[in-house]
Amino acid sequence: MGFVAQDGKLWYNTIILIEGACIVMKAVITVIGRDTVGVVAKVSAVCAELNINIEDISQSIMQEMFCMIMLVSLNHCSVDPAAVRDRFTALGDEMKMQVTMTREEVFDAMHTI
């Protein structure tokens, strides 16, 4: 099942949450790997490039491992979700880290008992 956004692009397999009259599409971006300079800047730059709004961010370093979780809004994203995932996978490969994007409802379902 697809959804046609205002820009005319088709978003497949996206569950739409409705708050009032606004359609809200959110995702969780996770980043895990060896700590290095510029991780937040690089991930944020890709978000800006794709017109993804960062709504919340949490990061920590655990025994030299960098861990970050971002809650982002895809409402005004300039590409389809598969392209977003591919872009973050490529960024992870470039940084030698694991960078994943998961729709918020899938993330919530995975972590609900």
* Residue pointed to by tokens 């994007």: 101
26: Cα within 13 Å, side-chain hemisphere: 17
Judge whether residue 95 has pLDDT over 60.
yes
Identity at 113, one-letter amino acid code = I
66 is written with which tokens?
């960098």
Which segment of 2-6, 49-53, 88-92, 107-111 scores lowest on mean pLDDT? 2-6
- Alpha-carbon distance of 12 to 5, in angstroms, equals 11
100 is written with which tokens?
């994943």
Quickly state the pLDDT bin for 102 (edges 50, 70, 90).
Answer: confident
Q: Which residue segments constitute the domains of the chain, with CATH numbers given? A: 25-110 (3.30.70.260)
* Range ranked top by mean pLDDT from 6-10, 90-94, 98-102: 90-94
Ranges of H-type helices in 9-99: 39-49, 81-95
